Structure 1
Amino acid sequence: MAAGYSAISSYSRVEIMHLVQQRPRRPIAELVDATGLHPNTVREHLQRLIDAGYVIAETERRITRGRPRVLYTAATGEPAASSPVAVRKARDAARRGDLLRTVYPTDAGETLSADALHQLDALVEDLGTAGFDPLVDEGALTVDLTPCPHGAAAEHRGTLCGVHVGLMDGVLAQAGGPLRVDGIAPSCDPSHCVVHLAVQD
Protein backbone atom coordinates (compact mmCIF):
# COMPACT_ATOMS: atom_id res chain seq x y z
CA MET A 1 0.00 0.00 0.00
CA ALA A 2 1.33 3.43 -0.83
CA ALA A 3 2.56 5.67 1.97
CA GLY A 4 -0.01 8.24 0.91
CA TYR A 5 -2.78 6.06 2.37
CA SER A 6 -1.00 5.40 5.66
CA ALA A 7 -2.24 6.74 8.98
CA ILE A 8 1.18 8.35 9.45
CA SER A 9 1.64 9.67 5.91
CA SER A 10 0.63 13.16 7.10
CA TYR A 11 3.29 15.02 9.06
CA SER A 12 0.53 16.60 11.16
CA ARG A 13 -0.44 13.10 12.31
CA VAL A 14 3.21 12.27 12.94
CA GLU A 15 3.47 15.40 15.08
CA ILE A 16 0.34 14.47 17.04
CA MET A 17 1.64 10.93 17.44
CA HIS A 18 4.94 12.31 18.74
CA LEU A 19 3.11 14.38 21.35
CA VAL A 20 1.03 11.48 22.68
CA GLN A 21 4.11 9.24 22.72
CA GLN A 22 5.94 11.83 24.82
CA ARG A 23 3.17 12.10 27.38
CA PRO A 24 -0.05 10.09 27.69
CA ARG A 25 -3.57 11.31 28.41
CA ARG A 26 -3.45 14.46 26.33
CA PRO A 27 -6.66 16.46 25.81
CA ILE A 28 -7.56 18.01 22.47
CA ALA A 29 -6.78 21.52 23.73
CA GLU A 30 -3.13 20.60 24.43
CA LEU A 31 -2.70 19.06 21.01
CA VAL A 32 -4.30 22.08 19.34
CA ASP A 33 -1.95 24.46 21.21
CA ALA A 34 1.11 22.37 20.37
CA THR A 35 0.35 21.94 16.67
CA GLY A 36 -1.53 25.13 15.82
CA LEU A 37 -4.16 23.07 13.99
CA HIS A 38 -7.92 23.60 14.19
CA PRO A 39 -9.60 21.39 16.83
CA ASN A 40 -11.69 19.60 14.19
CA THR A 41 -8.55 18.85 12.17
CA VAL A 42 -6.85 17.43 15.28
CA ARG A 43 -9.93 15.27 15.97
CA GLU A 44 -9.88 13.93 12.40
CA HIS A 45 -6.17 13.09 12.65
CA LEU A 46 -6.69 11.40 16.01
CA GLN A 47 -9.52 9.30 14.59
CA ARG A 48 -7.22 8.09 11.79
CA LEU A 49 -4.60 7.15 14.40
CA ILE A 50 -7.21 5.38 16.55
CA ASP A 51 -8.51 3.47 13.51
CA ALA A 52 -4.94 2.36 12.77
CA GLY A 53 -4.46 1.07 16.33
CA TYR A 54 -1.81 3.65 17.21
CA VAL A 55 -3.78 5.75 19.71
CA ILE A 56 -6.42 5.04 22.34
CA ALA A 57 -9.00 7.45 23.72
CA GLU A 58 -10.47 7.48 27.21
CA THR A 59 -13.01 9.71 28.89
CA GLU A 60 -11.64 11.62 31.85
CA ARG A 61 -13.06 10.73 35.25
CA ARG A 62 -14.14 13.95 36.94
CA ILE A 63 -15.25 14.72 40.47
CA THR A 64 -16.22 18.28 39.60
CA ARG A 65 -19.10 19.52 37.48
CA GLY A 66 -18.68 19.93 33.77
CA ARG A 67 -18.32 17.80 30.72
CA PRO A 68 -15.44 15.30 30.98
CA ARG A 69 -12.65 15.62 28.44
CA VAL A 70 -11.50 12.89 26.09
CA LEU A 71 -7.83 12.06 26.69
CA TYR A 72 -5.51 10.53 24.08
CA THR A 73 -2.60 8.15 24.65
CA ALA A 74 -0.21 6.26 22.38
CA ALA A 75 -1.05 2.55 22.21
CA THR A 76 1.97 0.89 23.80
CA GLY A 77 0.58 -2.48 24.78
CA GLU A 78 0.68 -1.64 28.48
CA PRO A 79 -2.53 -2.68 30.28
CA ALA A 80 -3.79 0.91 30.41
CA ALA A 81 -2.68 1.67 26.84
CA SER A 82 -3.77 -1.28 24.75
CA SER A 83 -5.63 -0.81 21.50
CA PRO A 84 -8.26 -3.42 20.60
CA VAL A 85 -7.66 -2.50 16.95
CA ALA A 86 -3.92 -3.25 17.23
CA VAL A 87 -4.55 -6.51 19.09
CA ARG A 88 -7.03 -7.65 16.41
CA LYS A 89 -4.65 -6.69 13.60
CA ALA A 90 -1.81 -8.62 15.29
CA ARG A 91 -4.01 -11.70 15.71
CA ASP A 92 -5.06 -11.57 12.04
CA ALA A 93 -1.44 -11.12 10.92
CA ALA A 94 -0.36 -14.12 13.02
CA ARG A 95 -3.04 -16.29 11.41
CA ARG A 96 -1.92 -15.26 7.92
CA GLY A 97 1.74 -15.79 8.89
CA ASP A 98 1.04 -19.31 10.19
CA LEU A 99 -0.76 -20.15 6.96
CA LEU A 100 2.13 -18.81 4.87
CA ARG A 101 4.68 -20.80 6.90
CA THR A 102 2.60 -23.95 6.34
CA VAL A 103 2.68 -23.41 2.57
CA TYR A 104 6.29 -22.12 2.46
CA PRO A 105 8.19 -23.66 5.41
CA THR A 106 11.31 -21.83 6.63
CA ASP A 107 13.84 -22.48 9.38
CA ALA A 108 12.72 -19.37 11.31
CA GLY A 109 10.61 -21.57 13.58
CA GLU A 110 13.76 -23.33 14.74
CA THR A 111 15.33 -20.12 16.08
CA LEU A 112 12.33 -18.06 17.16
CA SER A 113 9.35 -18.92 19.34
CA ALA A 114 5.83 -18.89 17.88
CA ASP A 115 5.12 -15.68 19.83
CA ALA A 116 8.17 -13.97 18.31
CA LEU A 117 7.19 -15.09 14.80
CA HIS A 118 3.70 -13.71 15.36
CA GLN A 119 5.21 -10.41 16.48
CA LEU A 120 7.19 -10.24 13.23
CA ASP A 121 4.02 -11.04 11.27
CA ALA A 122 2.25 -8.08 12.88
CA LEU A 123 5.24 -5.79 12.40
CA VAL A 124 5.71 -6.63 8.71
CA GLU A 125 2.03 -6.08 7.94
CA ASP A 126 1.95 -2.78 9.84
CA LEU A 127 5.10 -1.51 8.11
CA GLY A 128 3.74 -2.55 4.72
CA THR A 129 0.56 -0.59 5.38
CA ALA A 130 2.69 2.42 6.33
CA GLY A 131 4.41 2.40 2.93
CA PHE A 132 7.59 0.52 3.85
CA ASP A 133 8.95 -2.59 2.14
CA PRO A 134 10.47 -4.39 5.17
CA LEU A 135 13.07 -7.12 4.80
CA VAL A 136 13.30 -9.17 8.00
CA ASP A 137 16.35 -11.21 8.99
CA GLU A 138 15.05 -13.57 11.70
CA GLY A 139 18.56 -14.75 12.59
CA ALA A 140 20.10 -11.30 13.03
CA LEU A 141 16.82 -9.84 14.36
CA THR A 142 16.94 -6.88 11.99
CA VAL A 143 14.31 -5.18 9.87
CA ASP A 144 15.73 -3.40 6.83
CA LEU A 145 13.46 -0.56 5.75
CA THR A 146 15.72 0.66 2.93
CA PRO A 147 14.81 2.65 0.97
CA CYS A 148 13.00 4.66 3.62
CA PRO A 149 10.01 6.43 2.03
CA HIS A 150 10.55 9.28 4.51
CA GLY A 151 14.31 9.60 3.99
CA ALA A 152 14.00 12.86 2.06
CA ALA A 153 12.28 14.71 4.93
CA ALA A 154 15.57 15.90 6.43
CA GLU A 155 14.07 18.67 8.56
CA HIS A 156 11.75 16.22 10.34
CA ARG A 157 13.95 13.12 10.38
CA GLY A 158 14.47 13.01 14.16
CA THR A 159 10.76 13.22 14.90
CA LEU A 160 9.81 10.79 12.12
CA CYS A 161 12.35 8.17 13.20
CA GLY A 162 11.36 8.53 16.86
CA VAL A 163 7.66 8.12 16.06
CA HIS A 164 8.30 5.11 13.80
CA VAL A 165 10.41 3.39 16.46
CA GLY A 166 7.67 4.01 19.03
CA LEU A 167 5.01 2.66 16.67
CA MET A 168 7.06 -0.45 15.88
CA ASP A 169 7.65 -1.12 19.56
CA GLY A 170 3.93 -0.67 20.23
CA VAL A 171 3.02 -3.15 17.47
CA LEU A 172 5.46 -5.71 18.88
CA ALA A 173 4.19 -5.23 22.44
CA GLN A 174 0.54 -5.54 21.49
CA ALA A 175 1.22 -8.66 19.45
CA GLY A 176 2.53 -10.23 22.67
CA GLY A 177 5.94 -11.86 22.77
CA PRO A 178 9.61 -11.37 23.67
CA LEU A 179 10.74 -9.01 20.88
CA ARG A 180 11.23 -5.26 21.34
CA VAL A 181 12.91 -2.57 19.25
CA ASP A 182 16.54 -2.15 20.30
CA GLY A 183 17.33 0.84 18.05
CA ILE A 184 18.17 2.01 14.56
CA ALA A 185 21.61 1.37 13.07
CA PRO A 186 23.40 4.69 12.42
CA SER A 187 23.88 5.59 8.78
CA CYS A 188 25.22 8.51 6.76
CA ASP A 189 22.57 7.83 4.12
CA PRO A 190 19.18 9.17 5.26
CA SER A 191 17.35 6.72 3.01
CA HIS A 192 19.13 3.74 4.63
CA CYS A 193 17.33 2.36 7.69
CA VAL A 194 17.96 -0.88 9.56
CA VAL A 195 16.07 -1.46 12.80
CA HIS A 196 17.54 -3.83 15.38
CA LEU A 197 15.29 -5.97 17.55
CA ALA A 198 16.14 -7.70 20.82
CA VAL A 199 14.69 -10.56 22.84
CA GLN A 200 13.57 -9.42 26.27
CA ASP A 201 13.12 -11.73 29.24
Structure 2
Amino acid sequence: MTTGRRAGYSAISNSSRVQIMHLVQERPQRTIAEMVTATGLHPNTVREHVQRLTDEGYIVAATEHRTTRGRPRVLYSAAGGVHAASPIQLRKVRAAAQRGDLMRRVMPEAAPTRGAHLGTDALHQVDALVDDLIDAGFDPLVDERELTVDLTPCAQATAQADRREVLCRVHLELMQSVLQAAGGPLAVDGMRPACDPGACVVQLTRASAGDAAA
Protein backbone atom coordinates (compact mmCIF):
# COMPACT_ATOMS: atom_id res chain seq x y z
CA MET A 1 0.00 0.00 0.00
CA THR A 2 1.10 3.55 -0.69
CA THR A 3 0.31 6.52 1.46
CA GLY A 4 0.68 10.15 0.55
CA ARG A 5 0.93 13.44 2.37
CA ARG A 6 -1.62 16.19 2.13
CA ALA A 7 -0.58 19.16 0.02
CA GLY A 8 -1.94 22.66 0.23
CA TYR A 9 -3.38 24.90 -2.44
CA SER A 10 -3.54 23.21 -5.83
CA ALA A 11 -4.43 24.08 -9.40
CA ILE A 12 -7.65 22.05 -9.19
CA SER A 13 -8.82 23.33 -5.81
CA ASN A 14 -10.48 26.33 -7.46
CA SER A 15 -14.07 25.84 -8.71
CA SER A 16 -13.53 28.06 -11.75
CA ARG A 17 -10.51 26.04 -12.85
CA VAL A 18 -12.52 22.85 -12.38
CA GLN A 19 -15.16 24.33 -14.68
CA ILE A 20 -12.52 25.24 -17.27
CA MET A 21 -10.98 21.76 -17.08
CA HIS A 22 -14.43 20.27 -17.60
CA LEU A 23 -14.88 22.36 -20.75
CA VAL A 24 -11.60 21.31 -22.36
CA GLN A 25 -12.12 17.68 -21.36
CA GLU A 26 -15.59 17.68 -22.96
CA ARG A 27 -14.30 19.20 -26.19
CA PRO A 28 -10.68 19.97 -27.07
CA GLN A 29 -9.35 23.00 -28.93
CA ARG A 30 -11.30 25.61 -27.02
CA THR A 31 -10.58 29.31 -27.37
CA ILE A 32 -10.40 31.79 -24.51
CA ALA A 33 -13.51 33.47 -25.93
CA GLU A 34 -15.46 30.19 -25.75
CA MET A 35 -14.41 29.64 -22.16
CA VAL A 36 -15.38 33.21 -21.25
CA THR A 37 -18.85 32.66 -22.70
CA ALA A 38 -19.29 29.31 -20.95
CA THR A 39 -18.07 30.44 -17.52
CA GLY A 40 -19.20 34.07 -17.44
CA LEU A 41 -15.77 35.04 -16.10
CA HIS A 42 -13.74 38.05 -17.21
CA PRO A 43 -11.32 37.25 -20.09
CA ASN A 44 -8.28 38.14 -17.97
CA THR A 45 -9.51 35.84 -15.20
CA VAL A 46 -9.97 32.99 -17.66
CA ARG A 47 -6.47 33.59 -19.07
CA GLU A 48 -4.98 33.46 -15.57
CA HIS A 49 -6.76 30.20 -14.78
CA VAL A 50 -5.78 28.66 -18.12
CA GLN A 51 -2.17 29.69 -17.59
CA ARG A 52 -2.12 28.07 -14.15
CA LEU A 53 -3.55 24.84 -15.55
CA THR A 54 -1.06 24.95 -18.42
CA ASP A 55 1.85 25.50 -16.03
CA GLU A 56 0.76 22.43 -14.06
CA GLY A 57 0.61 20.28 -17.21
CA TYR A 58 -3.17 19.83 -17.21
CA ILE A 59 -3.84 21.88 -20.35
CA VAL A 60 -1.88 22.20 -23.59
CA ALA A 61 -2.02 25.02 -26.10
CA ALA A 62 -1.72 24.86 -29.88
CA THR A 63 -1.79 27.59 -32.50
CA GLU A 64 -4.61 27.31 -35.00
CA HIS A 65 -3.65 26.49 -38.57
CA ARG A 66 -5.33 29.03 -40.82
CA THR A 67 -5.71 28.98 -44.59
CA THR A 68 -7.19 32.47 -44.70
CA ARG A 69 -6.05 35.91 -43.62
CA GLY A 70 -6.17 36.79 -39.94
CA ARG A 71 -4.30 36.17 -36.75
CA PRO A 72 -4.39 32.47 -35.78
CA ARG A 73 -6.14 31.71 -32.52
CA VAL A 74 -4.65 29.77 -29.62
CA LEU A 75 -6.60 26.56 -28.98
CA TYR A 76 -6.60 24.82 -25.59
CA SER A 77 -7.11 21.12 -24.89
CA ALA A 78 -6.88 18.83 -21.89
CA ALA A 79 -3.51 17.12 -21.68
CA GLY A 80 -3.51 13.42 -22.41
CA GLY A 81 -3.46 11.05 -25.31
CA VAL A 82 -1.44 11.20 -28.48
CA HIS A 83 -2.83 14.50 -29.76
CA ALA A 84 -2.42 16.56 -26.60
CA ALA A 85 0.73 15.44 -24.83
CA SER A 86 2.05 17.91 -22.27
CA PRO A 87 5.86 18.15 -21.92
CA ILE A 88 5.32 19.29 -18.33
CA GLN A 89 3.18 16.27 -17.55
CA LEU A 90 5.70 13.93 -19.18
CA ARG A 91 8.52 15.42 -17.10
CA LYS A 92 6.44 14.93 -13.97
CA VAL A 93 5.74 11.25 -14.63
CA ARG A 94 9.41 10.56 -15.40
CA ALA A 95 10.46 12.29 -12.18
CA ALA A 96 7.87 10.32 -10.20
CA ALA A 97 9.20 7.03 -11.59
CA GLN A 98 12.77 7.99 -10.68
CA ARG A 99 11.75 8.93 -7.13
CA GLY A 100 9.77 5.72 -6.78
CA ASP A 101 12.67 3.57 -7.98
CA LEU A 102 15.04 5.36 -5.61
CA MET A 103 12.71 4.87 -2.65
CA ARG A 104 12.33 1.17 -3.41
CA ARG A 105 16.13 0.79 -3.57
CA VAL A 106 16.95 2.63 -0.35
CA MET A 107 13.83 1.61 1.62
CA PRO A 108 12.87 -1.90 0.43
CA GLU A 109 11.38 -2.66 3.83
CA ALA A 110 8.73 0.05 3.28
CA ALA A 111 7.07 -2.02 0.54
CA PRO A 112 8.70 -5.47 0.33
CA THR A 113 6.29 -6.87 -2.27
CA ARG A 114 5.77 -3.81 -4.44
CA GLY A 115 6.34 -4.47 -8.10
CA ALA A 116 6.30 -8.25 -7.73
CA HIS A 117 2.82 -8.50 -9.23
CA LEU A 118 2.40 -5.09 -10.88
CA GLY A 119 5.42 -5.02 -13.14
CA THR A 120 7.68 -2.03 -13.76
CA ASP A 121 5.40 -0.10 -16.14
CA ALA A 122 2.35 -0.37 -13.90
CA LEU A 123 4.43 0.46 -10.84
CA HIS A 124 5.67 3.65 -12.51
CA GLN A 125 2.08 4.53 -13.36
CA VAL A 126 1.21 4.24 -9.67
CA ASP A 127 4.21 6.41 -8.78
CA ALA A 128 3.03 9.12 -11.19
CA LEU A 129 -0.58 8.91 -10.06
CA VAL A 130 0.26 9.19 -6.36
CA ASP A 131 2.56 12.17 -6.96
CA ASP A 132 -0.09 13.97 -9.01
CA LEU A 133 -2.83 13.32 -6.45
CA ILE A 134 -0.63 14.63 -3.64
CA ASP A 135 0.11 17.75 -5.68
CA ALA A 136 -3.64 18.17 -6.20
CA GLY A 137 -4.21 18.21 -2.44
CA PHE A 138 -5.26 14.61 -1.83
CA ASP A 139 -3.92 12.02 0.60
CA PRO A 140 -4.16 8.89 -1.57
CA LEU A 141 -4.11 5.37 -0.19
CA VAL A 142 -3.37 2.85 -2.94
CA ASP A 143 -4.09 -0.84 -2.67
CA GLU A 144 -1.88 -2.27 -5.39
CA ARG A 145 -3.45 -5.73 -5.25
CA GLU A 146 -7.06 -4.57 -5.41
CA LEU A 147 -6.08 -1.71 -7.75
CA THR A 148 -7.99 0.87 -5.75
CA VAL A 149 -7.14 4.45 -4.87
CA ASP A 150 -8.87 5.68 -1.72
CA LEU A 151 -9.16 9.49 -1.63
CA THR A 152 -11.44 9.62 1.42
CA PRO A 153 -12.06 12.15 2.81
CA CYS A 154 -12.27 14.40 -0.23
CA ALA A 155 -12.05 17.96 1.06
CA GLN A 156 -12.64 19.32 -2.42
CA ALA A 157 -15.95 17.49 -2.75
CA THR A 158 -17.06 19.02 0.53
CA ALA A 159 -16.01 22.50 -0.50
CA GLN A 160 -17.67 22.15 -3.92
CA ALA A 161 -20.66 20.00 -2.95
CA ASP A 162 -22.96 21.79 -5.40
CA ARG A 163 -20.87 20.58 -8.35
CA ARG A 164 -19.61 17.26 -7.02
CA GLU A 165 -20.55 15.33 -10.18
CA VAL A 166 -18.50 17.62 -12.41
CA LEU A 167 -15.63 17.71 -9.92
CA CYS A 168 -15.43 13.91 -9.76
CA ARG A 169 -15.59 13.61 -13.54
CA VAL A 170 -12.76 16.12 -13.95
CA HIS A 171 -10.57 14.32 -11.42
CA LEU A 172 -11.18 10.91 -13.00
CA GLU A 173 -10.19 12.31 -16.40
CA LEU A 174 -7.06 13.85 -14.87
CA MET A 175 -6.11 10.53 -13.28
CA GLN A 176 -6.57 8.76 -16.59
CA SER A 177 -4.43 11.41 -18.29
CA VAL A 178 -1.58 10.79 -15.82
CA LEU A 179 -1.77 7.03 -16.32
CA GLN A 180 -1.67 7.50 -20.10
CA ALA A 181 1.31 9.84 -19.88
CA ALA A 182 3.20 7.37 -17.67
CA GLY A 183 2.50 4.53 -20.12
CA GLY A 184 1.52 1.06 -18.96
CA PRO A 185 -1.39 -1.34 -18.54
CA LEU A 186 -3.37 0.52 -15.86
CA ALA A 187 -6.41 2.69 -16.57
CA VAL A 188 -9.21 4.29 -14.56
CA ASP A 189 -12.30 2.10 -14.41
CA GLY A 190 -14.45 4.50 -12.38
CA MET A 191 -15.54 5.28 -8.83
CA ARG A 192 -16.77 2.56 -6.53
CA PRO A 193 -20.38 3.21 -5.41
CA ALA A 194 -20.75 4.34 -1.81
CA CYS A 195 -23.60 5.32 0.48
CA ASP A 196 -21.44 8.00 2.08
CA PRO A 197 -21.23 11.04 -0.24
CA GLY A 198 -17.89 11.91 1.33
CA ALA A 199 -16.35 8.55 0.41
CA CYS A 200 -14.20 8.38 -2.70
CA VAL A 201 -12.57 5.15 -3.86
CA VAL A 202 -11.40 4.95 -7.46
CA GLN A 203 -11.15 1.56 -9.13
CA LEU A 204 -8.33 0.98 -11.60
CA THR A 205 -8.27 -1.76 -14.18
CA ARG A 206 -5.43 -3.61 -15.85
CA ALA A 207 -5.40 -4.31 -19.56
CA SER A 208 -4.87 -7.89 -20.61
CA ALA A 209 -1.79 -8.78 -22.63
CA GLY A 210 -3.90 -8.82 -25.78
CA ASP A 211 -5.43 -5.44 -25.07
CA ALA A 212 -2.05 -3.92 -24.29
CA ALA A 213 -0.59 -5.24 -27.53
CA ALA A 214 -3.50 -3.78 -29.50
In the superposition, the TM-score normalised over structure 2's length comes to: 0.90
Q: In structure 1, which of residues 166, 171, 176 is the aligned counterpart of residue 178 of structure 2?
A: 171
Alpha-carbon distance in structure 2 between the residues aligned to 1:128 and 1:149? 13
- For residues 43-73 of structure 1, the C-alpha deviation after alignment (integer angstroms, 9 at most, x for no partner) is 1101111111111000000011111000000
Alignment partner, residue 18 of structure 1: 22
Q: Is the 8 A contact 2:157 2:167 kept in 1?
A: no
Q: Is the 8 A contact 2:65 2:72 kept in 1?
A: yes
Residue 182 (structure 1) aligned with residue 189 (structure 2) = yes
Gaps of 5+ in 2: none
- For residues 125-152 of structure 1, the C-alpha deviation after alignment (integer angstroms, 9 at most, x for no partner) is 1000111000001100000001111231
Q: In structure 1, which of residues 87, 90, 93 is the aligned counterpart of residue 93 of structure 2?
A: 90
Once the two structures are superposed, the pairs formed by residues 4-153 of structure 1 within 5 Å of their partners are: 4-76=8-80, 78-105=81-108, 106-152=112-158, 153=160
Gaps of 5+ in 1: none
Alpha-carbon distance in structure 1 between the residues aligned to 2:157 and 2:20? 20
Cα gap change, 1:38/1:70 in structure 2, threshold over 3 Å: closer, same or farther?
same
Which SS does the other structure have where 2:157 is aligned? coil
- Please state how far the C-alpha of 1:154 moved relative to its aligned partner: 2.0
Number of corresponding residues: 200
Q: Is the 8 A contact 1:3 1:149 kept in 2?
A: no
Higher relative contact order (CA 8 A, sep 6+): 2
In the superposition, the TM-score normalised over structure 1's length comes to: 0.96
Alpha-carbon distance in structure 2 between the residues aligned to 1:191 and 1:121? 25
- For residues 95-152 of structure 1, the C-alpha deviation after alignment (integer angstroms, 9 at most, x for no partner) is 0000111122221211011111111001001000111000001100000001111231
- Please state how far the C-alpha of 1:179 moved relative to its aligned partner: 0.6
Alpha-carbon distance in structure 2 between the residues aligned to 1:118 and 1:3? 21
Alpha-carbon distance in structure 2 between the residues aligned to 1:4 and 1:16? 21
- For the aligned residues, what is the CA RMSD? 1.2
Which stretch of structure 1 is more off in the superposition, 92-101 or 149-158? Answer: 149-158
Which SS does the other structure have where 1:188 is aligned? coil
Cα gap change, 1:161/1:137 in structure 2, threshold over 3 Å: closer, same or farther?
same
Which SS does the other structure have where 1:197 is aligned? strand
Cα gap change, 1:42/1:4 in structure 2, threshold over 3 Å: closer, same or farther?
farther
- Please state how far the C-alpha of 1:3 moved relative to its aligned partner: 5.9
Alpha-carbon distance in structure 2 between the residues aligned to 1:53 and 1:120? 18
Match for 2:13: what amino acid? S
- For residues 72-113 of structure 1, the C-alpha deviation after alignment (integer angstroms, 9 at most, x for no partner) is 00011x221100000000000000000111122221211011
